[in-house]
Structure 1
Amino acid sequence: MSINSYLHDLGSSLVLNSNEKSSITTSINALKTRLTSYFGEDVIDKIIFGSYTRETILPRKADENSDIDLMVVFKNPYSYKPQSFLNRLKSFAEAKYSTSEIYQSSPTIVLELNHIKFELVPAYNFYSLYYIPKNSSEWMYTNPNDFNNKLVECNKNNTYKIKPVIRLLKHWNIQKNSRGLSSFELESKIAYEMTYSYINCTSYTDYLKSALGKLRTYSNATKIDNAVAKINEALRNENDGYPYTALSKIKEVFPEV
């Protein structure tokens, strides 16, 4: 197996399988139903956003901290601060999911189920614009679909390799970079830096080295340089006719799951 075939297969394995998707869909539908039952007309919308909608979320086998972001849109006629709604979401979770682990991880409420973790994000809508917590006392504007569109464009312009590359780099970030980059930070830096077709990039190793170069400013430069050096060493081994040595070296950067 070549290095790029291995990376292709690994990137494909870092997606939710059909059973996981089915279980998550069931949990999302139940959660939305319970929100409506508990809050009634005070909640005007429930919007899933984040890496789950972008198909860049890692399965639990690769990331025990994988979570689903759910924006709970409240009426807010009296301009309450975010903490008021965080308190209400925590009370909801404790009432409807009493056996689950529930806690505030500012500015969200985390609900941990057996198979997935939800981050409940309070929001309100003002003249068709959405606002979510910046912290416990301030709101900030968000467009939950804006970045999704950017990533779709970037992926399309780069022969549909960007989403697999993001999953591979999330895997590296967990296994080799001590989660030095947040999930969204990693995705956004790659998507915005590589929106258009990237010159001289055709293979997964090309894209991974280019993406790591883009991330170098924002993370541990030594670990990134080490990753690039090992990719280059693996490629040299492969070119010199040592495929097993090459695979062993690339697995030092992107281990099997």
Structure 2
Amino acid sequence: MGDTAIGWLSDLNAKYTPSSNQFDAARGHRASIESRLDSDLGVREMFEIGSLRHGTGVWIYSDADYLVSLKGIRPESIWTMLEKVKSSLETRFPSTTISTRRPAVVCKFSDGTVEVVPGYPATTGYWIAHPSGGWMLTHPKDHNAYVNGVNSRHSGAVKKLARELKVWKYKRNVPISSCYLEMRAAKYMDGQATYSAVWDLHGALKHLQDVGLAAMNDPTGLGSRFTACSSDTNKADALSKLNTAVARAGRAKAHWAAGENAESIDDLKLLFNQ
């Protein structure tokens, strides 16, 4: 990787950026999934969401994610919806491992993983299963537009920063929502005048620490709050790993500011488990 800390981070981002066709096989299951669910439950629309759609996917780790807006009346229980979708897809794909991981039904095909997020239309947005239970309102199209807007103002920096936070999450096994990290990265950069890779990596992690991974208001003002973790146990684990990450990123920033790139890179390697 690069000889400078900034170059090293740039190379890390490039390494974990999925190729344009890497998830074509997983995406190839979309039509059969939509056809089955439409036949069984009725589908209003199905569209791609998540990190791949947003351009913040992580090579190896990210899946193909779709929101499926169902017809009919929203049931009282999220489990009624999730179990119906799971059962329908299990019948259609009997040799595929299918499970629920709120808010999604996860289909592990031999050539890729597809996460199907079922929901029902709201007046604006969609009702989907909340990771910790119950229903939550989401506006994925508006969230994508928000991230794109902030990203454009910073010449692509927001998506680079979001990917780096996700690489840290995956490489250090941090039980934290990828969506939460992406929206926090965008909100953090929304308040910055300029972008500096090493400086703002530490700044974004320090911001997560300062807020204690608290639930985040939807920056678009439209949907439910974003939660960081699915349980108190996971949050405690995530906070412990975040404290370590902030210390390592802080040392990397200090070395970089002093012109000590080799030492800064060593700390970045520890941060990202490289």
TM-score bucket (shorter structure) = 0.7 to 0.9
| Residue number in structure 2 paired with 1:94 | 90
Of residues 216-225 and 89-98 in structure 1, the stretch that sits farther from structure 2 once superposed is: 216-225
- Cα offset for 1:18? 3.3
Question: Aligned in 2, Cα 1:19/1:135: closer, same or farther, shift over 3 Å?
Answer: closer
User: Does residue 252 of the first structure (1) align with residue 245 of the second (2)?
Assistant: no
Of residues 150-159 and 123-132 in structure 1, the stretch that sits farther from structure 2 once superposed is: 123-132
Q: 2:271 and 2:37 mapped to 1: Cα distance?
A: 42
| Residue number in structure 2 paired with 1:122 | 118
| Residue number in structure 2 paired with 1:57 | 57
For the pair shown, which has the larger CA radius of gyration, 1 or 2? 1
Question: Aligned in 2, Cα 1:249/1:132: closer, same or farther, shift over 3 Å?
Answer: closer
Q: 1:50 and 1:116 mapped to 2: Cα distance?
A: 15
Asked if 1 retains the 8 angstrom alpha-carbon contact of 2:252 and 2:265, the reply is no
Asked if 2 retains the 8 angstrom alpha-carbon contact of 1:4 and 1:205, the reply is yes
Give TM-score, length-normalised by structure 1: 0.82
> What SS does structure 2 have at the residue aligned with 1:251?
helix
Asked if 1 retains the 8 angstrom alpha-carbon contact of 2:27 and 2:114, the reply is no
Question: Aligned in 2, Cα 1:74/1:227: closer, same or farther, shift over 3 Å?
Answer: same
| Residue number in structure 2 paired with 1:112 | 108
Asked if 2 retains the 8 angstrom alpha-carbon contact of 1:83 and 1:136, the reply is no
Which consecutive residues of structure 2, in runs of 5 or more, have no partner in the other structure?
214-238
> 1:181-202: per-residue Cα shift (whole Å, max 9, x none)?
2211211112123214x24x44
> 1:202-251: per-residue Cα shift (whole Å, max 9, x none)?
431122122112111323352133222331354167x25xx545433432
| Residue number in structure 1 paired with 2:48 | 48
| Residue number in structure 1 paired with 2:187 | 192
| Residue number in structure 1 paired with 2:139 | 143
Give TM-score, length-normalised by structure 2: 0.77
- Cα offset for 1:11? 0.6
| Residue number in structure 1 paired with 2:70 | 74
The letter for the 2-side match of 1:212 is L
> What SS does structure 1 have at the residue aligned with 2:179?
helix
| Residue number in structure 2 paired with 1:222 | 243
Asked if 1 retains the 8 angstrom alpha-carbon contact of 2:151 and 2:158, the reply is yes
Question: Aligned in 2, Cα 1:233/1:114: closer, same or farther, shift over 3 Å?
Answer: farther
| Residue number in structure 1 paired with 2:151 | 155
User: Does residue 204 of the first structure (1) align with residue 197 of the second (2)?
Assistant: yes
Asked if 2 retains the 8 angstrom alpha-carbon contact of 1:231 and 1:253, the reply is no
Q: What do you get for the CA RMSD once the two structures are aligned?
A: 2.7
| Residue number in structure 1 paired with 2:40 | 39
Question: Aligned in 2, Cα 1:157/1:246: closer, same or farther, shift over 3 Å?
Answer: same
> What SS does structure 1 have at the residue aligned with 2:270?
coil
Q: 1:120 and 1:46 mapped to 2: Cα distance?
A: 9
Which consecutive residues of structure 1, in runs of 5 or more, have no partner in the other structure?
none
Report which structure shows greater RCO (CA 8 Å, sep ≥6): 1
Q: 2:246 and 2:116 mapped to 1: Cα distance?
A: 37
Asked if 1 retains the 8 angstrom alpha-carbon contact of 2:33 and 2:89, the reply is no
